[in-house]
Structure 1
Amino acid sequence: MNSKILLSYNNHDGIPIGEFMSKSVSMTNDGLIYFGSQNGVCYFNPDYVTRKMKVAPASITGFATFTSNKESKNEEKEIAFLSGKVELPNNQNTFKISFSVLDITQSDQAEFSYMLEGLENIWYNAQNEKQITFRNIPPGKYKFLIRSRLKNQDWDSNVASLDIIIAPPLLLTWYFKVLYCIIGTIIIILILKSYKKKVYLEGSLKMEKKKISDQQELNNERLRFYTNITHELRTPLTLILGPLEDLLCDKSLSLKQINKIGIIRDSSHRLLNLINDIMEFRKTETQNRKLSVEKDDISTVINEVGIRFKELNSNPKVSYIIDIKSENNNIYFDKEMIVTILNNLLSNASKYTPKGEIRISLNSINENNIDYTVISVSDTGYGITENDLPHIFNRYYQGTGKYQIAGSGIGLALVKGLVELHQAILDVESQEGKGTTFTLKLITDNTYPEAIHKNSVEVQPNDFELSEEETQEVQNAQKTLVLIVEDNSDIREYIRTSLCDDYEILTASNGKEGWDIAKNKIPNIIISDIMMPVMDGIELCKLVKEDICTSHIPVILLTAKDSLQDKEMGYDSGADSYITKPFSAKLLTSRIVNILEARKKIARLIKSTQAQSEQEEAYKSLNKLDNVFIDKITKIIEDNLDMEKMDIGFIADKMCMSHSTLYRKIKGLTDMSANELIRKIKMQNGEKLLLKGEQSISEISYMIGFSSVAYFRQCFKDEYGMSPSEYVKSKSSKKDQE
């Protein structure tokens, strides 16, 4: 029978305190509560509740290591630790430690935590285990600590410990360490002895590098000189060739005179070809030469070149043979490049072939399942020596053979560069005394998607072009314009004369005059004194930085004040740099160049389509007004995205700016013209529509204001480096890979 229990207490010690389910429990003198019956009422003494049992101290009861045994995989070996310390060899670094409490009656109620000092100085709970195994402990000195507690009580302050020493391996013992020190000392002595030789070798290497660098610089200077001369020579050559052609058409001249004029004409053409070679070589060296291909019959070009050399041949002992075996000759190729390559190869063949034949041939082959159109130029001349053959394509290399003819050393280097640009293969085979064969392999099916394709797009004159008036404004705006604001006429003239060779200069005698010029002319950079009448430089700088038309213009402040407070005032006004007087023109010029280059770098990042994260950082580096300006321009363009003939005039009207002001502002921020910015934003919107995949390419082109799908494709390729369809495929493949 269950009955309601009332809890109470009295002051009697050891009194029975209750009855529960007709069962009674006694309380012992050690503090355990017991139940008893007294008139159906339960009693308890609160003093008994607060009393706790004390846990017996923990002790280490055993230590064992594991040894390898052939019959049994591992065998435990007990180790005595009477002295409180255990020493182990390095190959017995896996061991087991057993522990318990001294009071056996508490064995099941006790909990343990342990720590191995020297390995990890952290207490770990043993999780009801009474032994711990440590594996592969590195050599060193350790102290094993173990402590105990009863469940739900505090840890006992008595901690048992055992010192464990694991000996190091032989190679880490003290006598080996001494040996290491001796060896190290010997090495240091050898290094010190060889220091003089090392310094000498470094000096020799430095001198050799400087010699090579100077030689390279000299070669570049020569090439630049030759390039400049060739530009000057083309004009008089044109004036020579024109009248010569007219004279050859004059029927009143005798045959003898015509032959002499023909020789002059041929020599002039030869000179013109050499000049063109130098210019082409310079282009390939500076990577300015671009591949411009069209699909045409390449055999026609080979015939033309071969016939021209055949007609110009003045050696009756040499015959030119044109051998065309290929049937499928319509391929994509750069005609100018192929002509230049053939001219150089045939010219070399004619120089080194005193008699025999020079053959130019065209055929088709298949290698490794790739179709090639092969052009070969072979001769029966002197040939190339085995030592010279690996170096003939090096710049300025002159052969060492006895039949070597003086030359520039750039002809074959130019050929090699043009072949690589054409994504083709050039092989050469030569045998001294028997002749040389150059083989050019063009991939027949190569369409050169990255190259310029002639006549592939009909350019529309109204798209992204400037009017005559706007073109003039752009030309004026492209000059680097520097505004000098200085009340001292001598200093103003000094700065002007220092910069006038490199920049277009505007001057003002006070801040107000400078502000009026800055609003009207929008200079690329402003150099201003601080202390001036009417308006000082600080106020001028604030006006420049707070006006949306001029906020992008860098400002350099000049002053005789050099205190930290004055500099802080200058930078707080928005100045980009601060130069104290007196200053040198060289320092000022260097500061101008650095600031303009930094602005150009930001503009290039904004203009780029590849590094989006860097582009975002570039926008962050602009001030608030410049970002507002870019946002306004972008919104105007996107609100009129389908407008076909959007130009700088349209945006200038919307922004309430003059054409030149708008152009200089956009150019200074983005390094793009207004029309380039319009096209870029249109292309960005076109890209978003392409990636959505909801409209076709032709629909997208009309949606963003292109009347010609072909022109849209070309503009997209110029912006992103590939056609719209290829761009979508590349993005899809990247998503699939992710």
Structure 2
Amino acid sequence: LTLINGPLEAIQEEDIPEAKKKKYISVIVENTKRLLELTGQLLDFQKIGANKLSMKFESVDITALLKGIVARFEVTFNLNNKELILILLEEEVWAAVDKEAITKIVSNLLNNALKYATKHIQVELEKDEFYFTIRVISDGNKIPEEVSQYIFEPFYQMEKGEMPKNGVGIGLSLARSLASLHKGTLSLDTTYEKENVFVLTVPLNKGGISLQNSKVVQKDIVELDEETSVETDMHGYTLLLVEDNESMLTFISERLRESFTVETAKNGAEAIEVLKSSHVDLIISDIMMPVMNGYQLCKEVKSDLELSHIPVIFLTAKNDIDSKINGLKYGAEAYVEKPFSFGYLKEQVLSLLNNRRREREAFSKRPFFSVDNMQMNKADEEFMNKVIRIIEDNLTDDNFGVEKMADILCMSRSSLLRKIKTIFNLSPLDFIRLIRLKKAAEYIQEGKYRIGDICYMVGINSPSYFSKLFLKQFGMTPKDFEKQYQSGRQAVVPQDIRNTDVINDADK
């Protein structure tokens, strides 16, 4: 914190040369990373103590993993005039492990070597029938044999004369705990005379994995090209940011305003007042707040028919699994953990808004895309299906409109207008017309009625106007739509069955 605060104070001074400012900022960035890393270790340590750290075992190429870890450290070692050597087997080594946990163990050992080694560090990978072993060998002050076990205890630190660098004393303890969760071991081999040698041994667990020609299976990889990348200037959308920490509120809102229109509130109660007076497309809320917390705010929003369609993102330091489950129970659409990447938060917002937009377009342009296929909460889904049933019950009434529908629903005209507009981006009149056209598409697909009759069945009294509306909505005329479905049916129905149908129709 001192190494973050010090450069910040220096930057605040006037007439700082640009080169020096960049140097200060790089110091801040590096020490912020270090602070986040330390915080992560403390949280992992706490989870292990509470038996709440879950491991995700998967088939991992240990050879490739080790190469990647060492490559990330090489530049830093070179800058510190220290040599880092990696010795691997000729064959690949595969094992069932938690990839992130093994990365943390090896990274801790390399961080220690970086701090305490004099010149040379060597990383070796070996395996036998049942285990793989990673050794990290470094020169420098030899750790006395009598303290070789204590160094793995939480918060243990050696005397300054023995180990000259500062530390917290949690890294090796965490690393050993992660090794134990793999049913493996992490120890200091004291048989070496001059070097410090840390030995990690982990079962291959061949029975728990299946290898397919030693190929790495890639999963959950998404590449955004120019065609699929999302629009980043979306000032037409309004976000509500709810955060009681004023500095955090100011920082996040300023960044969001680069792309969106932003309203702010310092607790849930203030947020409710904003929602009553302003149109909001998405809410980003902290959880721990005075007056009304994030859970209570989310519950209020999702239980209010006029607000329940608004997506909620929780932005919070409460990152344990119980808090995430609670957030989903209250109806939140996403959960972003502090400390967070602003880029990730922005992409999460864009993803939710763009998914909503694509669903609206699909509902409008695809005749058989239903409300049930849209990502909306249960209350909104039930309400909109009720609205559609009411429209369908009044299809033949060409005078059926917004007032009549609002009366049946016991809602004000303005509330109904706002609800349909926010969910489908349509006026109630346009929505009624869309449902008429969707029902017409169903009748055409059934093949029981003539198109000239269908337009009257859905409350449109002009066949030419009906054809024009249908073409504009679905991109083809009713006749072309009918031909498409008739050809589709003929393609899958055998000749003898079609003849039977003709006979049956003639008999009727």
Q: Structure 1 length as normaliser, TM-score?
A: 0.32
Structure number with higher helix proportion? 2
Bigger RCO (CA 8 Å, 6+ sep): 2
Over alpha carbons, which structure has the higher Rg?
A: 1
TM-score, normalised relative to structure 2: 0.45
| Structure with more of its chain in strand, by fraction | 1
